[in-house]
Amino acid sequence: MSVPYADLTAQYLSIKSEIDKAIQDCIDQTAFIGGSVIKEFEEDFAQYAGANFCVGCANGTDAIEIALKALGVGPGDEVLVPALTWISTAGAVNNIGAEPVFVDVLEDQRTIDPALIEAKITDRTKAIIPVHLYGLPARMSEIMQIANKHGLKVIEDSAQAHGAEIDGKRIGSFGQIATYSFYPGKNLGAYGDAGGITTNDEELAKTCKMITNHGQLKKHNHQIIGRNSRLDTIQAAILKAKLPHLGEWTEKRIAHAKKYFQLLSAVKTPAIPEGYKHVFHVFAIQSQTRDEVKELLDQAGVGNAVHYPNPLPLVPSYAYKGHQSGEFPVSEKLCAEILSIPMFAEMTETQIEEVASIINQL
Ligand SMILES: *Cc1c(COP(=O)(O)O)cnc(C)c1O
């Protein structure tokens, strides 16, 4: 029995009438740019994320760029980012003219290692971008302590962790600002590109909003240099329709993960620190014989992926920094050993058992 890596069709069919209506309403009202549904989604998502404000934008990568700009980070500044993350976390830093500085991650949690941060701080360091990778919160209390001690801003890249928590507190509420992606495959996904920024700081929210719309809050009133990174109206309507289901979908992912924990015996499964709520955007197993596991799954028609094949310091676009293999040992080991296996809310018990039994053949 083949099992897909994710199944966006199953999710759509489970809420088809709500989605179809949300899209049709936009068309009926010819509401394609702007419109009340954007504000409604922003308010709903802010509430979901435990933040005072949410600003929608075009995608999760723009969200990071906009957050950095709004915090006043720019050319000449350095920003600390984990060596293991999706390329956007670092690329956004380059794209505002600042320099990403890579920090290795913790092997068990796969998030930025707080013990390695201080050695990378210079007098040019302005901010840290912890990433809640795969859906597990980064170690925010240690990170905030270091950031506060050195006067650094913290942007939580929450693209993979909608609804994750530490001790009952939603991620995104630890740093000054948090960024989200609503790429279709994310835990809350649109039907195209979309992103968002949350913060408790009203001024910061206003600045972000201005940046997303040509530096204006009112038409032809350009206060700062901005750009066009507006949240698309149809995407906002879809996200608003999907958001009420996110809690249930997240609980299902967690239940599926529990089942994997029970069944998987031949490989290492994700470690979750006490008090941390992992929302399993990705269920990444770890094995020294990763390529054999991958081969078994490929042969059985079970979807899988490597997140990510290389630590960012070693990808060609960062060759200019001159990093050598061996400088980020934990990220390098993880890139060689991790494998993401099927994880989506609509998975059935049978599918989970099938995936586990194939991996256990190892
Ligand atoms: C998906 C993702 C992004 C970027 O989101 P897009 O909407 O694809 O631009 C940023 N950071 C991380 C960690 C991501 O997983």
pLDDT in tens, 144-185: 999 999 999 999 999 999 999 999 999 999 999 999 999 999
CA of 264 relative to ligand 1 center, distance in Å: 29
Paired with 156 in beta bridges are 178
CA of 18 relative to ligand 1 center, distance in Å: 26
91, 168: one domain = yes
| Residue 1 counted as domain residue | no
| Residue 130 counted as domain residue | yes
Whether 127 shows a pLDDT value over 90: the answer reads: yes
12, 121: one domain = yes
Ligand 1 pocket test, pick from 62, 65, 181 with the greatest ligand atom count within 8 Å of Cβ, gives: 181
Q: Tokens representing 43?
A: 């308010």
CA of 282 relative to ligand 1 center, distance in Å: 13
Decide: 153 and 71 in contact? Cβ < 8 Å.
yes
**For the CA of 281, the nearest atom of ligand 1:** 15
**For the CA of 182, the nearest atom of ligand 1:** 7
Domain-ending residue, one of 243, 263, 283: 243
77, 125: one domain = yes
Decide: 139 and 163 in contact? Cβ < 8 Å.
no
225, 266: one domain = no
Helix (H) or strand (E) holding 94: helix 88-95
Residue reference for tokens 């199953």: 10
Is the CB–ligand 1 distance for residue 282 below 6 Å? no
237, 252: one domain = no
Give SS3 for 213.
Answer: strand
Closest CA to 143 of 107, 106, 180: 106
275, 230: one domain = no
Domain-ending residue, one of 224, 243, 262: 243
186, 318: one domain = no
- pLDDT mean over 280-305: 98
* CATH code for position 16: 3.40.640.10
How many residues are there in the chain?
362
Q: Which DSSP string do the residues of 200-212 spell out, in sequence order?
A: S-HHHHHHHHHHH
| Residue 3 counted as domain residue | no
Q: Judge residue 198's burial from the number of C-beta atoms within 10 Å of its C-beta, 0-12 exposed, 13-18 middle, 19 or more buried.
A: buried
Helix (H) or strand (E) holding 196: strand 195-199
List residues with catalytic annotation.
186
Distance of CA 94 to the CA centre of its chain: 19
Whether 1 shows a pLDDT value over 90: the answer reads: no
Is the CB–ligand 1 distance for residue 60 below 6 Å? yes
What is the distance between the alpha carbons of residues 123 and 101, in angstroms, rounded to a whole number?
Answer: 13
| Protein residue with least CA distance to atom 2, ligand 1 | 159
| Residue 21 counted as domain residue | yes
pLDDT classification of 99: cutoffs 50, 70, 90: very high
Regarding pTM above 0.85, the answer is yes
What is the distance between the alpha carbons of residues 187 and 183, in angstroms, rounded to a whole number?
Answer: 9
335 Cβ partners below 8 Å, 6+ apart? 84, 306, 308, 309, 310, 311
* CATH code for position 303: 3.90.1150.10
199 Cβ partners below 8 Å, 6+ apart? 51, 52, 53, 176, 177, 178, 205, 208
Closest CA to 51 of 33, 75, 67, 32: 67
| Residue 199 counted as domain residue | yes
What is the distance between the alpha carbons of residues 256 and 211, in angstroms, rounded to a whole number?
Answer: 40
Give the whole-number percent of the chain exceeding pLDDT 90.
Answer: 99
222, 346: one domain = no
Q: Which domain holds residue 35?
A: 8-103+112-243
Domain-ending residue, one of 196, 212, 243: 243
CA of 86 relative to ligand 1 center, distance in Å: 7
| Residue 154 counted as domain residue | yes
Is the CB–ligand 1 distance for residue 82 below 6 Å? no
208, 253: one domain = no
CA of 350 relative to ligand 1 center, distance in Å: 31
| Residue 354 counted as domain residue | yes
Is the CB–ligand 1 distance for residue 83 below 6 Å? no
Whether a cis peptide bond, with omega within 30° of 0, leads into 308 is: yes
Whole-angstrom CA distances from 315 to 7, 14, 288, 312, 322 are: 30, 39, 22, 5, 11
pLDDT of residue 356: 97
CA of 39 relative to ligand 1 center, distance in Å: 22
Is the CB–ligand 1 distance for residue 235 below 6 Å? no
Ligand 1 pocket test, pick from 57, 64, 81, 89 with the greatest ligand atom count within 8 Å of Cβ, gives: 89
- pLDDT mean over 140-145: 98
Give SS3 for 209.
Answer: helix
Is the CB–ligand 1 distance for residue 187 below 6 Å? no
Give the model confidence (pLDDT) of 332-344 as tens digits. Answer: 999 999 999 999 9
pLDDT of residue 362: 85
239, 249: one domain = no
| Residue 93 counted as domain residue | yes
What is the distance between the alpha carbons of residues 331 and 334, in angstroms, rounded to a whole number?
Answer: 5
81, 223: one domain = yes
Q: Tokens representing 109?
A: 């949690």
pLDDT classification of 63: cutoffs 50, 70, 90: very high
Give the number of domains in the chain. Answer: 2
What is the sign of the dihedral through the CA atoms of 257, 184, 160 and 297?
positive
**For the CA of 89, the nearest atom of ligand 1:** 11
222, 258: one domain = no
pLDDT of residue 210: 97
**Mean pLDDT for the chain overall:** 97
Is the CB–ligand 1 distance for residue 89 below 6 Å? yes
